[in-house]
Amino acid sequence: CMGLGFGIAGSAYAEKPLVLGFSQVGAESEWRTANTASIKDAAKQAGVTLKFADAQQKQENQVKAIRSFIAQKVDVIAFSPVVESGWDTVLGEAKAAKIPVILTDRAVDAKDKSLYVTFIGSDFVEEGRRAGRWLLERAKSMPAGDINIVELQGTVGSAPAIDRKSGFAEIIAANPHLKIIRSQSGDFTRAKGKEVMEAFLKTDGKKINVLYAHNDDMAIGAIQAIEEAGLKPGKDILVISVDGVKGAFEAMMAGKLNVTVECSPLLGPQLMKVAKQVVAGETVPKRITTEESVFPAEVAAKEFPNRKY
Ligand code: GZL
């Protein structure tokens, strides 16, 4: 009795593959490209039909993509919101269409928590605290007097930029000599990170002791600017960043970056597992936090062969 989903052995019921609509921020950094690869590979492994849209870091493109997933009646929607706010309307449309939404990587500031089923991602405030704790410790062996810090922020309004800034500031407040003298967004890209660091060097060059960059790509861009200004990154100006991408390990092995705080982009497998649980009507935790560590330059060479992104 083919087609009835049971009967002769071997005609096992072919489960209809789950259809997942994913709206990605863009392709702005090494982290992002690794995150995209993880999601696409995991979908293939899990037999999930993935509809993938790249928003080129524009919120309106993410809203359009989510609306198109709703129109296509996908089983589940997932996305990494480029900024925290402005999602309530479109998430309300997904809820009205009875399509569950999973947040990955970045959070939204929606008051109504029923607009999404769960948020899978890092604790960005803790990442900022880890960067701050490294500097607090390092400051103990630096010359007395003020330690001037310049900060390259991530995309304005994004959860990682807001949270990495606040976590870092919270920790360094313990040492009044640690002063953030300039802070500006480099939009998480190498190009912008270099451009903003050039401006910092022009106005405050010799005074700068430390750079805190919210991601490795901006740090790598800034390292080029520091070298072009005739200074030694990692020595004349300490460089602290976040993500832990291969480029950061290469910079640390070259002595140009002092520490990177890991932020794992490998969220694909967890996303597919949770998407299947959600569609199967299972309850999942409202918040799933990725486990991460900190990699100072001293361990870079040993750790590098283990890196997956
Ligand atoms: C963090 C992620 C950030 C990375 C950047 O989870 O949202 O966006 O730190 C990326 O590299 O561009």
Q: CA-to-CA distance for 278 and 67, rounded, in angstroms?
A: 20
Gap from CA of 9 to ligand 1 centroid (Å):
48
Q: Which structure tokens are listed for 293?
A: 């560590």
pLDDT at 10 over 90: no
- The pick from 165, 188, 218 for probing ligand 1's pocket by mutation, whose C-beta has the most ligand atoms within 8 angstroms, reads 188
Q: What is the pLDDT of residue 3?
A: 41
**111 C-alpha to ligand 1 centroid (Å):** 23
ipTM of the complex as predicted:
0.97
Q: How far is the CA of 37 from the centre of ligand 1 (A)?
A: 14
Q: φ and ψ at 14, to 5 degrees? A: -85, 105
Mean pLDDT of 226-252: 98
Atom of ligand 1 nearest to the CA of 164: 9
**40-46 average pLDDT score:** 98
Contact 116, 87 (CB under 8 A): no
On the question of pLDDT at 13 being above 60, the answer is no
Confidence of residue 4 (pLDDT cuts 50, 70, 90): very low
What value, to the nearest 5°, has the Cα angle with vertex 82 and ends 288 and 224?
105
Q: What is the DSSP string of 223-242?
A: HHHHHHTT--BTTTBEEEEE
Q: Which of 130, 243, 261 has the most ligand 1 atoms within 8 A of CB, as the residue to mutate?
A: 243
Ligand 1 centre distance from Cα of residue 289 (Å): 15
Atom of ligand 1 nearest to the CA of 214: 9
105 touches ligand 1 (CB under 6 Å): yes
Pick the atom of ligand 1 nearest to 158's CA: 7
CA distances from 197 to 44, 105, 221 (A): 40, 26, 8
pLDDT mean over 147-166: 98
State the pLDDT confidence band at 2, using cuts at 50, 70 and 90.
very low
Q: Is 32 in the pocket of ligand 1 (CB under 6 A)?
A: yes
Give yes or no for residue 79 CB within 6 A of ligand 1.
no
Per-residue pLDDT tens for 64-102?
999 999 999 999 999 999 999 999 999 999 999 999 999
Average pLDDT, the chain: 95
Distance of alpha carbon 219 from alpha carbon 214, whole angstroms: 8
Q: What's the one-letter identity of residue 259?
A: V
For residue 29 and ligand 1, the question of a CB distance below 6 A is answered with: yes
Atom of ligand 1 nearest to the CA of 159: 7
C-beta of residue 125 within 8 angstroms of C-beta of residue 167: yes
List all residues 6 or more positions away from 287 whose beta carbon is below 8 Å from its beta carbon.
118, 119
Flag whether pLDDT at 9 surpasses 60. no
* Ligand 1 within 6 A of CB of 28: yes
Would you state the structure tokens that stand for residue 193, as one six-digit string? Answer: 């990170």
Ligand 1 centroid to residue 307 C-alpha, Å = 17
Q: Is residue 77 within 8 Å of residue 69, measured between CB atoms?
A: yes
What mean pLDDT comes out for the span 131-147? 97
Predicted TM-score of the model (pTM): 0.93
Check if 31 has its Cβ closer than 6 Å to any atom of ligand 1: yes
Residue nearest to atom 3 of ligand 1 (CA): 160
Residue among 24, 28, 32, 130 whose CB has most ligand 1 atoms within 8 A, to mutate: 32
Q: What whole-number distance in Å separates Cα of residue 57 and Cα of residue 84?
A: 13
